Amino acid sequence: MKKFFFTFAVLVLTLGACTTQGNEGEKSTGTEGQDKGQAAIENIMSRTSIRKYKDQPVEQEKIDIMLKAAMAAPTAVNLQPWHFIVITDKETIGLLSGKQPTNAPLLIAVCGDTDKTTTPDGKMKLPDFWVEDVSAATENLLLAAHALGLGAVWTGVYPAMERVSEVANVLNCPQNIVPVVVVRVGYPDESPAPKDKFNEENISYDKFGGKKKLLLKSFKTRNLPKSGFLVFVFSLIRRGRCGTWLACRCLPG
């Protein structure tokens, strides 16, 4: 059995090497793509809330990028039911800080627009998905801020209705514009470590309480017809997964 796996590993690795050697251009694009993917994941994993800021304004170009990132978020039926209020006026920042004073040079109030919760044909009024839409936009905004070397923190408004009225009053919001979050942004003047929140207990597989299945662990070579097996192997090579597959099948644990 060991002999079989060894021969198979050599075969797969040789084939894998052949396919990548054959097209250098494709190889570099793949690596570039992987680097970008890695950078995106690292940006997500290293973000943390920043609450102290340098006395330094945030450039308009960076504000524009954060707003574009925010509006790239998914929304129910693509209704984009949101409005962003960018605040740099010190007095307004003071009024919005409420019980949590801040030295942030920039606030962005991320609001829901309840006039944009009906489908364009007027046939369907959505339930309160706008809250999720605005939250997705806020997370994008936080991640963009972090990627731009800025620090930010989400301060919650909706559904604390007292706070909603307070913020809406300061910002002169009409009835349909509901402040959900006030994001504080600035150049970081503190460097807290990101929190490790990964907890396997918060995950189920297939059904609540279902145990973890290892990737491809349940794959049984003996039960597959030969042609199916070859298709599987070649699809792994094409997707560059042979390493993962071999690791799962051949390495202990």
Ligand X SMILES: Cc1cc2nc3c(=O)[nH]c(=O)nc-3n(C[C@H](O)[C@H](O)[C@H](O)COP(=O)(O)O)c2cc1C
Residues that bind ligand X (CB under 6 A): 48-49, 51, 100, 153-156, 195
Is 1 or 193 the residue whose CB approaches ligand X more closely? Answer: 193
Residue nearest to ligand X (CB): 156
- Shortest Å, Cβ 117 to ligand X: 20
d(CA 87, CA 57): 12
* Between 50 and 236, CB nearer to ligand X: 50
Residues 213-226: b if buried by 16+ CB within 10 A, e if exposed: eeeeeeeeeeeeee
Residue closer to ligand X by CB (options 51, 83) is 51
Judged by CB, which is closer to ligand X: 16, or 112?
Answer: 112
Supply the minimum distance, in Å, between the C-beta of residue 133 and ligand X: 15
* Number of Cα atoms under 13 Å in the Cβ half of residue 168: 20
Long-range contacts of 6-12 (CB under 8 A, 24+ apart): 9/246, 9/250, 12/233, 12/236, 12/237, 12/242, 12/246
Residue 227 is inside which H or E element, if any? helix 226-238
CB 54, min distance to ligand X, A: 18
- How near is the Cβ of 51 to ligand X at its closest, in Å? 6
Count of C-beta atoms within a 10 Å radius of residue 47: 17
Residue 49 vs 80, nearer CB to ligand X:
49
| Nearest CA-CA partner of 171 in 87, 101, 98, 114 | 87
Nearer to ligand X, 133 or 242 (CB): 133
The nearest distance, CB 36 to ligand X, in angstroms, is 23
- Can you count the helices (H) and strands (E) in the chain? 8, 4
* Nearest in space to 186 (alpha carbons), one of 62, 29, 18, 44: 62
- Residue 50 Cβ, how far from ligand X at the closest point, in Å? 8
Concatenating the DSSP letter of every residue in 157-178 gives -TT-HHHHHHHHHHTT--TTEE
